[in-house]
Amino acid sequence: MLYRGEHAFDFPAMWKKGLAVSGALVAISLVALGVGGLNLGIEFEGGTSWEVEAPGASVADARAALTGTGAESGKIQTVGTDSIRVRADTDQAADVVEISARLAEFAGVDPNDVSVTSVGPSWGDQITGKARNALLWFFAIVAVYIAIRLEWKMAAGALVAVAHDIVISVGVYAVFRFEVTPATVIAFLTIMGYSLYDTIVVYDKVREVGGRLTVTGRYTYTEMMNLALNQVLMRSINTSITSVLPVLSMLVIGSFFLGALTLQEFAIALLIGIVVGTYSSIFVASALVAWMKEREEEHRLVAEKVAADNDSDGGTRRVLDDDVALAGIPAKRSPSATRPVRGQAAQRSDRANRTQQSARPGQPPKPRKKKKR
């Protein structure tokens, strides 16, 4: 019904509730970031990480085995179902060797089977600085492009929606203590691109709709935005579904069955971002642009005229079917337009096509040879 245009949602009526939900999620995310902060990976904080396969071992057992090494107070966690990961703020060679030997004895393996990764704090600072610079450049370039391609109000709405998506996505990591790694940062940058894609699709459609309906003077900008959202809704749903399915496959199969932790870190961020990005393009970016556009002189006068002519408070008016066609819905083609060509007409068309194909570019077709009697 949505695809055929037989049903439409009243999105402006849902914007207040949507913005309330967004405000609550942003507040929770900011509180979580301020109180607990992010669980940064070793790539950002520096230190040494050990990982060893120890089926059935618990964190408490591993901590007890590391008593007196300096790593017992570090971060110890299970990875998958059969591995133990230990992270400590040390880079002394003697300490690294001792902790590796303790973990090998605890797991019953050779010390060479213990995976050791050491990262200096300066490298983590470089990664953090580059990620921050990439984010700032991204915002600046996107703002300039949208302002030139569309208008500055739409650029502002898109940037607010992207910031909304990033804050909530990072807040989920802060609340559930997911580890933030370089793969997570890459996923966050990917999230911004996806969120912008959905938002630009909505903006482009409302610009097309507004360009044709504004001249009628019968519809407010909010009503035109509602029509645009309903027209692109199925595209957004289909895009989200086709994006979520491979991410879920990567999360379930890659991380839980194959034990690839990097896939899990990347997939969780992508999954959160896709869902939040689809939501923000409808309930944040669109609502903000409609609010700003309604305050322009042209749209304000139309809104006052519509309010004076219509006393009903039954929600957002729907655009009339004739005006919907005017706004860009293609009319159905008549049966004659798709009727196949048969008989002598088909033969003449086929001969004409062969004659045209036999001609060289820029030259008339060759004359047909007469048959000898």
One domain, residues 86 and 210: no
164 lies in a domain?
yes
Q: Which of 103-117, 133-147, 332-346 has the lowest mean pLDDT?
A: 332-346
One domain, residues 244 and 180: yes
Alpha helices, H only, the chain: 11-35, 42-45, 59-65, 93-107, 121-149, 152-176, 182-213, 221-249, 261-280, 286-293, 297-309, 321-326, 343-358
Task: Provide the pLDDT confidence category of residue 336 given band limits of 50, 70 and 90.
Answer: very low
One domain, residues 143 and 262: yes
Domain with 95 in it: 47-119
- The per-residue pLDDT for range 164-214, each reduced to its tens digit, is 998 998 999 999 888 888 778 888 877 777 778 888 888 988 888 888 787
70 lies in a domain?
yes
One domain, residues 57 and 31: no
CB atoms within 10 A of CB 57: 19
One domain, residues 74 and 171: no
CA 124 from centre of chain: 26
Considering the chain, what is the average pLDDT of its residues? 78
293 lies in a domain?
yes
Query: Which two tokens mark 298?
Result: 């042209």
Domain count, the chain: 2
Which pLDDT score, from 0 to 100, does residue 89 have?
78
Chosen domain end from 102, 119, 136: 119
Which among 68-72, 183-187, 268-272 has the top mean pLDDT? 268-272
- The per-residue pLDDT for range 236-262, each reduced to its tens digit, is 888 888 888 888 887 777 666 665 666
Chosen domain end from 76, 92, 119: 119
236 lies in a domain?
yes
Pairwise pLDDT comparison (354 vs 157), residue with the higher score: 157
One domain, residues 114 and 136: no
Residues 6+ apart with CB under 8 A from 214: 224, 298, 302
Pairwise pLDDT comparison (330 vs 188), residue with the higher score: 188
Pairwise pLDDT comparison (276 vs 369), residue with the higher score: 276
Which pLDDT score, from 0 to 100, does residue 345 have?
46
Pairwise pLDDT comparison (43 vs 314), residue with the higher score: 43
335 lies in a domain?
no
- Percentage of the chain beyond pLDDT 70 is 78
One domain, residues 75 and 159: no
Pairwise pLDDT comparison (96 vs 371), residue with the higher score: 96
One domain, residues 134 and 226: yes
Whole-structure pTM over 0.75, yes or no? Answer: no
One domain, residues 215 and 68: no
CA dihedral over 90, 92, 95, 100, signed as positive or negative: positive
One domain, residues 180 and 110: no
Which pLDDT score, from 0 to 100, does residue 257 have?
66
Mean per-residue pLDDT, 319-339: 52
159 lies in a domain?
yes
Do 88 and 71 contact (CB within 8 A), yes or no? yes
- For the domain that residue 24 is a member of, what is the CATH number? 1.20.1640.10
Query: How far is 6 from 316, CA to CA, in rounded Å?
Result: 17
- For the domain that residue 109 is a member of, what is the CATH number? 3.30.70
- The per-residue pLDDT for range 357-367, each reduced to its tens digit, is 444 444 555 55
Chosen domain end from 86, 119, 152: 119
pLDDT of 161 higher than 80: yes
- The per-residue pLDDT for range 283-299, each reduced to its tens digit, is 999 999 999 999 888 88
Query: How far is 162 from 141, CA to CA, in rounded Å?
Result: 13
pLDDT of 266 higher than 90: no
One domain, residues 150 and 202: yes
232 lies in a domain?
yes
312 lies in a domain?
no
One domain, residues 167 and 18: yes
CA dihedral over 176, 22, 158, 8, signed as positive or negative: positive
